[in-house]
Amino acid sequence: MRIDIITLFPEMCEAVLNESIIGRARAKGIVDLRCHQLRDYAFDKHKRVDDSTYGGGMGMLMKAEPIALCIEDLCGQVSDRPHIIYLSPKGTTLTQEKVRSLAAYDNLVLLCGHYEGVDQRVLDTYIDEELSIGDYVLTGGELPALVLTDSICRMIPGVLSDDLCFEEESHYSGLLEYPQYTKPAVWRDQAVPEVLLSGHHANIERWRREQALLETARRRPDLLTKVALDEKDRKFLREKGILE
């Protein structure tokens, strides 16, 4: 997979993308991540990419032409037109389901906004979708772009050591993740649940499923309405007074 990030702060993005699991996957060539300085596509001597807004108002707006030139350049570098995303607080909220669907693309372009945003004509002409990482506003789109890139890359085969690394995590199955423990078996008078020490894999799997159901019911009950529950799940939730 190739992901191109259009940004005013490529060094900021590179610092994150070169570290940890994503950095190792990048070094191995499993993912192709490229950061592009938008000012390289500005056409005046000051490399200016923003201007005042028509109609007045506070702040500056990112100009259309540098963004258009950058996007057109990137489109010309790949065989198929990339899927182009603008990171925006007005966008659809990012979910694990969306991450999974984006991981199926071969090429993504992420546009990082700044100042008061981007000329609407760019969005109307080039952007396939707008995404938000939450109902709050940041100073720029770099952090959301990095969050999106990290969440997508870890779904790519070979990035993590095993698919189970993400298949049992919160949100992948629609449930929040069950509690986990490591050595020692007793820490400050708190013992690891006995079932986890039993070696009985079927019982452990059932315990984990039930704990995931409880965690979801306690923290995000809205998610339970979207999960496929079998009869064992329903019986357990009824016993806990969560379902009628």
All domains of the chain in start order, with CATH: 2-153 (3.40.1280.10), 168-239 (1.10.1270.20)
Query: pLDDT, tens digit, for every residue of 43-90?
Result: 888 899 999 999 888 889 999 999 999 999 999 999 999 999 999 999
Q: Are 168 and 215 in contact (CB under 8 A)?
A: no
Query: pLDDT, tens digit, for every residue of 208-244?
Result: 999 999 999 999 999 998 889 999 999 999 999 999 8
Q: What would the two tokens of residue 77 be?
A: 């570098």
- The pTM score is 0.84
Distances (CA, A) of 107 to 11, 31, 73: 21, 10, 14
φ, ψ dihedrals at 48, nearest 5°: -80, 130
The C-alpha atoms of residue 90 and residue 98 are separated, in whole angstroms, by: 16
Distances (CA, A) of 78 to 65, 69, 73, 104: 21, 15, 10, 16
Provide the β-strand partners of residue 36: 6
Q: What percent of the chain has pLDDT over 70?
A: 95
Q: pLDDT at position 163, please? A: 59
Q: Are 74 and 131 in contact (CB under 8 A)?
A: no
Give the alpha-carbon dihedral of 45, 46, 47, 53, to 10 degrees. Answer: -120
Distances (CA, A) of 94 to 12, 34, 99: 22, 22, 7
Pairing of strands 50-52, 60-62: antiparallel
DSSP state of 94: P
Query: pLDDT, tens digit, for every residue of 133-150?
Result: 999 999 999 999 999 999
